[in-house]
Chains A and B, each alone.
Chain A
């Protein structure tokens, strides 16, 4: 279906196309089963940034205060990229890892199930 409009053509402006983010791309990162952090967060990141910087520099700024966060063993983490199972190469860039503009990265931390195992 398409929008019905008076002139037959609906004006489209892609408000969030990658060229509008000053060289960065948007990446959403969510921690599964840790809903006290209310949503995945949105981050504007350089596409050439090494993936390792996500776990070392990006995520701690937001997820750091969660009591489970310091206990994460990043080698055990199960990743998902845009709905597919995914194993990141920490030394390669986001782009080389296939993380694109408005990609959704999710990760699970087996054994760390949130506050008192309640997924919070």
Chain B
């Protein structure tokens, strides 16, 4: 009689717990040298519960099926030239931001989890991190493959990994992941699995994917769906990790809470880029940043932390400020890019009247009062042939690395830039908010090492002193940035669609005379 087939749980147990052993040639502390220095105490790794108990054989089969479907959609998308069906070529700029800013993070996550799979001594945790590492690599690959079709027809998507390592606005997502990756393994997993994947991932993926759906981009929707089942597994893992850590030892609670505070704020600042995409870069907008924040943070995270309160965990510090900023964030981030779009590898433009009305409706407390006048002013300047470009370089926050354009919203002074400063060993370090200042003050030794793009330019480490030299060093081409009106993409789009060529000439930044 044939041996009875093992059930899934049994197979999972054999695969994980059954694979471990006690080292005899080396001390266990040396083999797993990263496991204790953060102060986290693990008393029993066997309490680690994986939410899905996915075995390797089931995993391969399931992922292979998803890939088969995704690549079939990509093939048909390419054969049908389906890029011509999107709402407008200006939509593609959201995809440029995605491949420059998000896809390299998938790859960074892949590397981070691979390290964890090696550094955790619990076999269950090793397997879970290994699976997630493979997922993240697959996400990076499927995103690159999907968007490579757009790269044939549009600018700015030709070298995202190179750009990610060098470009001023991409140092924002990069530095967040560098921060997590250069921390210990428990901080990394709290940061990426919990603060980012559990608390905030919906604010990243839903806006991009629903934006794609609303704007006729079925290829991007498909890779979104293909990643979604992985994301829900990652989210559940994030929650299990937090519970595991606080249940293992009471000393872990304050450490974990500190990491939640820090990485909530770090990840939230990165999402400022998403808010701009959502409110200003989509020709058809399914949902405003503020609406998404209310649903995915205020409601969902509120309920989550209610559940977690029995473990002694509370909402992340400064969450109230982030909620107050929800009515300002996208307008301020977009304003930064309007100032500096000549030094970016995507295009933006002033919102249409229709979009202005949508913004008024979605932001009744802020748009007409503060931000509509700014756009009116810029529109007048454009009409007079004096399109405003900021010809200086911005002051950057030492922690989040975003140009310091956020205002004193929490102090009811929303049109005044917020400035915070710390002194460390005789040098000043500027931050954009109380959240970023706290992060600096907790670990100044770490953040003095920050590679701030603006300062690096002044030090002469970025290809030269003039903007064209720096753009070349970024691997930007002249046609990659600037206003969408008159851009190479707009022209090419009209040609591809057989529409009349328009005669707009793009505004060029010129050095104002002294």
- Chain A residues within CB distance 8 Å of chain B: 1-6, 10-17, 20-22, 24, 26, 28, 30, 32-33, 35-44, 56-57, 60-62, 64-67, 82-83, 101-104, 106, 114-116, 118-120
Within residues 350 to 392 of chain B, which ones have a CB less than 8 A from any CB in chain A? 369-370, 373-374, 376-378, 381, 386, 388, 390-392
Closest residue on chain A to residue B442 by CB atoms? A1
Q: Which of B416, B460, B513 contacts A60 (CB 8 A)?
A: B513
Q: Across the interface, do B336 and A39 meet the contact criterion of CB distance under 8 Å?
A: yes
Q: Is the CB of B455 within 8 A of A4?
A: no
User: Residue on A with the closest CB to B394?
Assistant: A39
The segment from B30-38, B283-291, B478-486 found at the interface with A is B30-38
A13–B448 CB distance below 8 A: yes
B417 within 8 A of A: yes
Q: Give the chain A neighbours of B430 by CB distance below 8 A.
A: 28, 102, 104
15 contacts between A and B (CB under 8 A): A2-B443, A16-B459, A33-B415, A35-B335, A36-B377, A39-B403, A41-B394, A41-B395, A42-B454, A61-B514, A62-B390, A66-B388, A119-B415, A120-B373, A120-B377
Hey, which bits of chain B sit against chain A, CB under 8 A? Answer: 33-34, 37-39, 184, 332, 335-336, 338-340, 369-370, 373-374, 376-378, 381, 386, 388, 390-396, 403-405, 407, 415-417, 419, 421, 425, 427-430, 441-443, 445-446, 448-452, 454-455, 458-460, 511-514
A33 and B39 within 8 A (CB) = no
Contact indicator B448/A115 (Cβ below 8 Å): no
Is there an interface contact between B448 and A14, defined as CB atoms closer than 8 Å?
yes
Q: Which residue of A lies closest to B404 (CB)?
A: A39
Given the known interface contacts A6-B33, A65-B386, the answer about A20 and B407 at a Cβ–Cβ threshold of 8 Å is no
| Bound form: Cα–Cα A119–B335 in Å | 14
Whether A21 pairs with B459 at a CB distance below 8 angstroms is yes
Residues of B within 8 A of A106 (CB): 419
Q: Establish whether residues A39 and B417, one from each chain, have CB atoms under 8 Å apart when the complex forms.
A: yes
> Are A5 and B37 touching (Cβ within 8 A)?
yes
Q: Which residue of B373, B405, B459 is within 8 Å of A20 (Cβ)?
A: B459
Contact B443 A26 (CB under 8 A): no
Interchain nearest-CB distance for B413 vs A (Å): 9
Q: How far, in angstroms, from A92 to B224 measured CA to CA in the complex?
A: 60
The answer to whether B445 and A2 touch across the interface, beta carbons within 8 angstroms, is yes
Bound form: Cα–Cα A10–B37 in Å = 12
Complex-state Cα separation, A37 to B460, whole angstroms: 25
Q: Is the CB of A62 within 8 A of B391?
A: yes
Whole-angstrom distance between the Cβ of A72 and the nearest chain B Cβ: 15
Chain B residues within an 8 Å CB radius of A38 = 332, 335-336, 338-340, 390, 394, 403, 405
How many A-B residue pairs have C-beta atoms within 8 angstroms? Tell me: 168
B127 → chain A closest CB, angstroms = 24
Distance (Å) between the CB of A92 and the closest chain B CB?
Answer: 21
Cα distance A75–B442 when bound, in Å? 41
Cβ–Cβ contact A120 & B374, under 8 A = yes
A67–B443 Cα distance when bound, in Å, is 42
Could you tell me if B446 and A3 are in contact, using CB atoms closer than 8 angstroms?
Answer: yes
* Cα A16 to Cα B290 with chains together (Å): 36
Q: Kindly list 19 other residue pairs between chains A and B, CB separation below 8 angstroms, not including A6-B34, A41-B390.
A: A1-B441, A1-B442, A2-B443, A15-B448, A15-B455, A21-B459, A30-B395, A33-B416, A35-B407, A35-B416, A36-B377, A38-B335, A38-B338, A61-B392, A62-B512, A65-B381, A115-B377, A118-B370, A119-B416
Partner of A13, one of B332, B376, B449: B449
Query: In the complex, A62 Cα to B514 Cα: how many Å?
Result: 9
- The answer to whether A82 and B339 have CB atoms under 8 Å apart is no
**A16, A57, A61, A114: most-surrounded residue (chain B CB, <10 A):** A16
Within 8 Å CB of A5, what residues of B?
A: 37
List 9 tightest A-B contacts by C-beta distance, closest first.
Answer: A41-B392, A119-B415, A62-B392, A64-B512, A115-B377, A118-B373, A39-B394, A120-B374, A38-B405
CB-nearest residue of chain B to A37: B390
Q: Which residue of B lies closest to A17 (CB)?
A: B427
User: Looking across the interface, which residue of chain A has its beta carbon closest to that of B370?
Assistant: A118
Q: Chain B contacts of A62 at CB under 8 A?
A: 390-392, 512
Whether the pair A39, B460 counts as a contact (CB closer than 8 A) is no
Chain A residue nearest in CB terms to B445 = A10
By the criterion CB–CB under 8 Å, are B184 and A4 in contact? yes
- A39: which B residues are within 8 A, CB to CB? 336, 339, 394-395, 403-405, 417
Q: How far is the CB of A22 from chain B (nearest CB, A)?
A: 7
A93 to chain B, nearest CB (A): 19
B residues in contact with A30, CB < 8 Å: 395, 417, 419
Q: In the complex, A98→B443 CA distance in Å?
A: 28
Is the beta-carbon distance between A15 and B451 smaller than 8 angstroms? yes
Residues of A close to B421: CB separation below 8 A: 82-83, 104
Q: How far is the CA of A72 from the CA of B427 in the complex (A)?
A: 32
Residue of A nearest to B450 (CB): A15
Chain A residues with CB under 8 A of B403: 38-39
Complex contacts, A119 vs chain B, CB 8 Å: 370, 415-416
Given A12-B448, A40-B404, also A4-B512 (CB < 8 A): no
